[in-house]
Amino acid sequence: MYAGGKYCAPRHCSFYIIAFLICQLVFLVIFIRNDRNDDIIAGELLAYQNESVDNYLNWHVFISHTPETSEAFYQYNIHLSNAVGPIRKLPVTRHSSCTTRNYVLPSPLEANVSVVISFHNEARSMLLRTIVSLLSRTPEDYLHELILVDDGSQRDVTLLDDLKRWMGEVFWSKYRLGLIFLRNQERMGLIWSRNRGASLASGRYVLFLDSHCEVNEGWLEPLLERLARNTNLAVSPLLDPIDPTTLSYRKGNEMLKGGFDWSLHFHWLKRQLANQERLEMPYQSPVFAGGVLMMSRDWFLKLGSFNPYLKIWGGESIELAIKLWLCGGQIEIVPCSRIGHIFRRRHAFDFPPQSDPTQKS
């Protein structure tokens, strides 16, 4: 036998093989230990973040004022939501290349973002987790203001006032973040509420975010890079589904694009990769899912905003998408940007009498 180009006696070769295997085992132990250390460090940081939020906002006191109601009312596991805490570690669902590339971004003064969150009868823990994940995982220099619109909640009428009292002073001193709190005296619907919030936004870009989401690490940079290249673009992150029963966070499907049928109901459609196209690359979509959307505020207003004649919820994403494409705009889904979203199995709210949720004007 040969070792290093020289003849090797069997017993010597056995020694080399055993030594090599021992070295591999040592490296494996070190790797696993470091990996565990990383998990321990991440866990400690997460615990510190939860403790900090609890100290700042009195999380447990805040959610204790949630009205007693069944899980069927919210259409997700409210008890588990209360137990999870204000922020949790989310799995990395984007492609590995997304975490290593350098994004070409404009300065924060040229690309600050206003976030509009409209909610109706949302659980306190779910709404606050949406807000805390946004603040914790967004570069502070780019986050300009947060606009919260209570669309006539009936079960928890003090929620907005509590948010204003508990968040205002703390979040302004800690994040230097503009805060706007609005309440509709009666139910006006998601579409009308988003328009109201956008009309008061002062950031260069506006992000519409549902109130039952969790933003993942590095969600903003990929979207900003695309918008900086094309001001007539509307972008959506790739939505990772959050199970409404277990709250488990799962990887979304990069092979789907938005579409609709003749009844103007939204559907996910399969897409084909073009030549030289990779899964992590942004891709065009005829329509976006209504839960999360980001675009230039001026471009949104120039297009006429969401159609105010559409009531409550549904159809707004298709109507805006048609205006975008007809007026020289485009829609892209950006897989390097990930935001978790709870897709309820049924509506957690009622529609007005004789009202189709996807009314057409």
62 pLDDT band (50/70/90 cuts)? confident
158 pLDDT band (50/70/90 cuts)? confident
- Single pTM value for the model: 0.82
Predicted confidence (pLDDT) per residue in 159-168, tens digit: 898 888 877 6
214 pLDDT band (50/70/90 cuts)? very high
Which residue would you say has higher pLDDT here, 51 or 157? Answer: 157
The token duo for 336 is 């390097």
Q: Which amino acid is at 320?
A: L
172 φ/ψ angles, rounded to the nearest 5 degrees = -70, -40
CB 233 within 8 A of CB 227: yes
CB 34 within 8 A of CB 81: no
pLDDT value at position 69? 74
158 φ/ψ angles, rounded to the nearest 5 degrees = -95, 0
Which residue would you say has higher pLDDT here, 224 or 68? Answer: 224
